[in-house]
Every structure is written in C-alpha cells, then in structure tokens.
C-alpha cells in the first residue's frame, strides 16, 4: 500500500543523508582530528628515578593542543615511559597528578567519564573565582607549557523546527523537530565516531595496574580529567610486598588551563572557600584529608 511504503521515507532519508555526510561529520565531541590537519605533539623529557622505577614524561596533549587526536577532549594526556631497573618484577597500581590547589587527581581509563569530569572541573574552578579554561595557558606562547595549551574553535548548529505535520498521500509521517543533519548525527554518525574514539583511546591508554618484568620498559599514555596547574605526576606500586613510588616535577605547567596565572593568595582563598570540596572531581583528594597519594 502507498501508505506503508511512505511511512519508511524518514528512515530512507536518514540513511541517504548518512551516506552523503560520512564519518567526518557528526558532533564534535565524538570526532577524531585528521592526521593531515593536526599538528605534531611538542616533545618533552622530564625524568625521575626512585628505587627500581624510572619515570619519563615524553609528551603532553591537552584540549586541541598540538598532537591532539580528538576534538574537544576535556582531559589531559601524559605520554610516559616506565622502566624497571631492578632484578624483580614490580606492579604499578596508580598514577596521580598533583596541582597548585594541593589536590591529587587519579588517572582514568574511560574517555567519556574523563570528559565528563573535565567539564565539571572547569565549571567548578570558575565557581571558585579562578580563571580556568580548557584551552588556556597563562604562560607566554614561547614556552613549552603554552605550546601544549593550544587553542579552540567552536561550531554552532541550529535546529530547524517543523511548522506543521507532514502528509504524504494522506499518510502522516513522523518528522523529528530538528534538521535532518542533526538527526543523522545523533542516530548514525555519532555512534560510529564514538567507537573510533574509543578504539584510539584504548590503543593509547596505559591501563593500570600493570606488571613490569625485571629490566623491562613500557610506554603509553595516562589520562586525567582536565587538571589546571599540575606540579607533579606520580606513580605508585608494589615490589616484593613493599610500596614503591616515583614522582616527576612538571616545571612550567603551573599556568596550564588558566587564562591568567592565579597568585598564591587567590589560590589560598579558593582552598578556603566553602565550595572547595576534595570530592568535587572524581579521584581527587587534598592534603587536609591525610589520604592523598604520595608526591
């Protein structure tokens, strides 16, 4: 019957639009950055040795910075190299960032939870009166810290409301109150792009805990929710029943994700603000709890 045939028209239109638009479109939160349009990562070499562990930070990728591979990623990706210099195996169980607000932020292994926590972190710091911004750096553009800060561009999409019900050969057709492109993004393109982002994240992520054999080395990325003003990155683990830990200083990054560098008095006021809570960011602790991971 004509009515039955035409009730499938919206689905056919969506499938046709999906084929025309392709994976390069879709919501920016689920888009990869093309290797052709992206810029190479700014290399780093920050090293620390403590007991059997050697930790080297070889790079940092932040919101739309050089080396970024996902658009609008509200996380910080630290590329690291770990080496076990001892004759016994050891296990690395946790990675932590320690920031200028005297908090310790645990790494994460879920890109969508990291993104959600990073957005929450930005809003939270702004509520404390701190000049936080995902793509900002308070340092001069000539410094390495600013180079990894990057810049951001935005794309606004407007929905197109439907003025009246659509009738085809007397058969009512359900039409979404949004543009066909947005409908395709939501139903077809975004899920596909999300899988691509997840696959790339899995390829890069150094999932903890991880065991290092005697003399072995391993490289990968540890991801943290967007964390302004990092000062140290530390790893914690065990070897032969004993706790082992190593911490590397991150000089020049105190202004990362701040539009201007907060002075110490402003930071102190923020820490004493009633809204300042250790649990404002998942996996975060402060010195006052007596439970923060070692730095």
Instruction: For residue 112, give every residue at least 6 positions away whose Cβ sits within 8 Å of its Cβ, in sequence order, or none.
Output: none
Listed by start position, the domains of the chain span 41-155+204-289
Q: What is the mean pLDDT of residues 55-60?
A: 96
Read off the pLDDT band of 91 (50, 70, 90).
very high
Q: How many CB atoms lie within 10 A of CB 257?
A: 28
Q: What is the mean pLDDT of residues 98-102?
A: 89
Read off the pLDDT band of 97 (50, 70, 90).
very high
Q: Is the pLDDT of residue 101 over 80?
A: yes
Instruction: For residue 207, give every residue at least 6 positions away whose Cβ sits within 8 Å of its Cβ, in sequence order, or none.
Output: 109
How far is the C-alpha of 104 from the C-alpha of 278, rounded, in Å?
9
pLDDT at 128: 81
Angle between helices 190-204 and 111-127 (to 10 degrees): 90
| Higher per-residue confidence, 42 vs 69 | 69
Task: Note the residue count of the chain.
Answer: 295
Q: What is the mean pLDDT of residues 232-255?
A: 94
pLDDT at 34: 67
Instruction: For residue 93, give every residue at least 6 positions away whose Cβ sits within 8 Å of its Cβ, in sequence order, or none.
Output: 208, 209, 236, 237, 238
pLDDT at 177: 41
Q: Is the pLDDT of residue 50 over 90?
A: yes
Cα dihedral sign, 134-137-141-146: negative
| Higher per-residue confidence, 130 vs 168 | 130
Q: What is the mean pLDDT of residues 74-86?
A: 96
Q: Note the CATH number of domain 41-155+204-289.
A: 2.60.40.1150
Read off the pLDDT band of 150 (50, 70, 90).
very low
pLDDT at 38: 59
Q: What is the mean pLDDT of residues 99-122?
A: 91
Three-class DSSP labels, 116-177: HHHHHHHHHHHHCCCCEEEEEECCCCCCHHHHCCCCCCCCCCCCCCCCCCEEECCEEECCCC
Alpha helices in the chain (DSSP H): 2-6, 9-21, 111-127, 144-147, 180-184, 190-204, 264-272
How far is the C-alpha of 15 from the C-alpha of 4, rounded, in Å?
18
Phi (first) and psi of residue 260, to 5 degrees: -145, 150
The per-residue pLDDT for range 174-221, each reduced to its tens digit, is 333 444 555 555 556 778 888 999 999 999 999 999 999 999 999 999
Minimum mean pLDDT among 30-39, 85-94, 153-162: which range? 153-162
How far is the C-alpha of 69 from the C-alpha of 125, rounded, in Å?
26
Q: What is the pTM of this model?
A: 0.71
Minimum mean pLDDT among 94-103, 125-134, 227-236: which range? 125-134
pLDDT at 37: 54
Q: Is the pLDDT of residue 20 over 90?
A: no
Q: Is the pLDDT of residue 98 over 50?
A: yes
Q: What is the mean pLDDT of residues 251-261?
A: 87
| In contact, 80 and 96? CB cutoff 8 Å | no
Q: Is the pLDDT of residue 43 over 60?
A: yes
Q: What is the mean pLDDT of residues 53-73?
A: 91
């Amino acid at each position: 019957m004509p009515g039955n045939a035409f009730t499938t028209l919206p689905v056919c239109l969506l499938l046709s639009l999906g084929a025309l638009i392709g994976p390069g479109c879709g919501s920016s939160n689920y888009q990869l950055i093309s290797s052709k349009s992206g810029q190479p990562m700014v290399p780093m070499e920050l090293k620390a040795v403590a007991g059997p562990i050697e930790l080297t930070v070889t790079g940092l990728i932040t919101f739309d910075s050089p080396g970024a591979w996902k658009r609008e990623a509200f996380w910080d990706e630290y590329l690291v190299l770990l080496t076990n210099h001892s004759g016994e195996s050891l296990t690395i169980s946790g990675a932590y960032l320690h920031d200028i607000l005297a908090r310790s932020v645990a790494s994460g292994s879920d890109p969508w939870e990291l993104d959600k926590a990073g957005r929450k972190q930005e809003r939270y710091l702004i509520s404390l009166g701190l000049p936080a911004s995902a793509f900002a750096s308070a340092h001069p553009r000539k410094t390495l810290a600013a180079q990894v800060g990057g810049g951001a561009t935005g794309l606004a999409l407007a929905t197109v409301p439907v003025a009246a019900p659509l009738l085809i050969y007397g058969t009512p057709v359900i039409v979404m109150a949004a543009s066909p492109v947005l409908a395709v993004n939501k139903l077809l393109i975004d899920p596909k792009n999300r899988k691509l982002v997840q696959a790339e994240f899995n390829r890069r992520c150094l999932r903890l805990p991880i065991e290092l054999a005697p003399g072995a080395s391993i490289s990968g990325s540890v991801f943290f929710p967007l964390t302004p003003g990092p000062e140290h990155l530390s790893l914690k683990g065990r070897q032969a029943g004993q706790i082992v830990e190593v911490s590397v200083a991150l000089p020049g990054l105190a202004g990362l994700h701040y539009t201007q560098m907060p002075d110490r008095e402003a930071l102190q006021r923020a820490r004493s603000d009633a809204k300042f809570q250790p649990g404002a960011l998942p996996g975060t602790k402060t010195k006052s709890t007596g439970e923060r991971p070692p730095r």
